[in-house]
Structure 1
């Protein structure tokens, strides 16, 4: 087979996006309009793989020093390819990519695939071939998600409070404007609790929303016209992910965030989504995870899935 690999350039914008739209294992995060909202922070090293001049795979990636990552600015990454591509060709493409990286003086390749539950056919092909070539599983995170295709397992205590909250006249709205949640809830609460800012600014989120209207949604809970909790959703074909979730001090008293989560879990189960992804619970402590966050998500009906991070030395 004759493979050709090239680094992404602006002239590849349309062919890249068209390929992502048709692929087996991509989400809207791999669209160039999403990848490039923070292009000033990363040196792009995304790759396109051609076989006899026909595009067969793309790899969202960035370069830092002598290392290439798939991609540090995204929650997940990995090799993207069409449904008909067989495992044997995936293996050949990996070898070509590793050779290309070596020729470009890259000494380390970091790889974080999209978790398997995002796709009905899974997403583990590259993992096997990476390990066979000497990659190591550098890190494994617990990714908490609710299986919406199975009976829900929300804890009795959560449901007890939920039924009590239902009588408190809380209103849930889907909002186009991120300003109320960002300015009144998310930014002040993150600053107060952790002395950090959201990964996305309000302006960045508004920009992304303008480009991905059907994929990015903001749900907020109000009491007496005052916002007390919010959840920002990233919606893909089979999965919805709570990208941000926060509540005010008043919202904590009313357990408004749980109220919002439970309503959204039921909403997306009715819509036929497969999973509700609540993200990882990793933390830099002795345990390696946040006990309180793990317990909270399990009580909302989540179970543990893997988010894997691989590292391979280029020889």
Structure 2
């Protein structure tokens, strides 16, 4: 007789949680507890652990806000994290248990921002099929600009010209992990001037995360005559190099600083990664796309994939009863 059970995450489970994440077929380092908890004061953690016959088979990194549960609002993506050898029926029963558990706690909805498939180490779309059965509401869809490095496209003329300008000005690109320089002199001023916002991660937070994930978080900066002129913060996962932050000073077009930086990242540093992810160019809650930003990313050969955001009513858990015939 198969026995399914669920536990609310507690600090005593940290080593078990982290070990599972490292072996999961669709998780990345963003789900390690040290990453999730750098901003724990902002969220009420309500992460869940799913067991089958006493063996951990799934995790749901999550936070609670009243009668709503979110696949952690402090993370770029989320949802059900699965073991490498899990089979469909186990995902089905586990998810049914999870929704029933939430319903009995009077949590009315579960919001999930899907993990883009490029981050999956193995096929991992079982839950996405279940969203259909559960009549999940598609709340939002964003576009991500991604390069498949196994089928690279030629850089556009404007990007190639930018690289030539950078070479003419003798720009230097280095992985010096100088977060402070780019945060204080370029990134923060740019975000403040253009969007009246601050970086998602404060300088203190990104340094904290770099200290705990030195092999996953890297800072590449561009220098002109000894002065920093541009930078990119990269989050590395097994299959993907993701640009978390990209920023250049007012001379970026004249110098070609961002063009030479990404030429270096795409064709040298991360040439062996399967994907290079520029992230989203969406605005207005996904309803608009910043054309100039999208045009710039596509100039490197990036093309579009999507990331979906769903809302599931927990009371619909009984819709999963008759899926297997």
- Do they fold alike, i.e. is TM over 0.5? yes
Q: Which residue of 1 aligns with 2:69?
A: 68
What CA deviation, in whole Å up to 9, does each residue of 1:165-219 have, x standing for no partner? Answer: 2222101111233110101110111111111110100010000000000000000
**Does the 8 Å CA contact 1:149/1:269 hold for their aligned counterparts?**
no
Moved runs in structure 1, 4+ residues, more than 3 A? none
Q: Which residue of 1 aligns with 2:205?
A: 204
Going from structure 1 to structure 2, the CA distance change for 1:90 and 1:73 (only over 3 Å counts) comes to same
For the aligned residue pairs, the C-alpha RMSD in angstroms reads 1.4
Q: Which residue of 1 aligns with 2:321?
A: none
| TM-score, normalization by structure 1 | 0.96
Going from structure 1 to structure 2, the CA distance change for 1:129 and 1:67 (only over 3 Å counts) comes to same
Q: In 2, distance between residues paired with 1:180 and 1:137?
A: 40
Q: Which residue of 1 aligns with 2:215?
A: 214
Q: Which residue of 1 aligns with 2:300?
A: 300
Q: CA deviation at 1:87?
A: 1.3
**Does the 8 Å CA contact 2:149/2:273 hold for their aligned counterparts?**
yes
Q: CA deviation at 1:286?
A: 9.8
Q: In 1, distance between residues paired with 2:101 and 2:250?
A: 53
Q: CA deviation at 1:81?
A: 1.3
Structure 1 stretches of 5 or more lacking a match? Answer: none
Going from structure 1 to structure 2, the CA distance change for 1:50 and 1:120 (only over 3 Å counts) comes to closer
| TM-score, normalization by structure 2 | 0.93
Q: In 2, distance between residues paired with 1:226 and 1:149?
A: 35
Structure 2 stretches of 5 or more lacking a match? Answer: 316-325
What SS is found at the alignment partner of 2:17?
helix
Q: CA deviation at 1:88?
A: 1.6
**Does the 8 Å CA contact 1:177/1:206 hold for their aligned counterparts?**
no
Q: CA deviation at 1:14?
A: 0.5
Q: Which residue of 1 aligns with 2:60?
A: 59
Q: Which residue of 2 aligns with 1:114?
A: 115
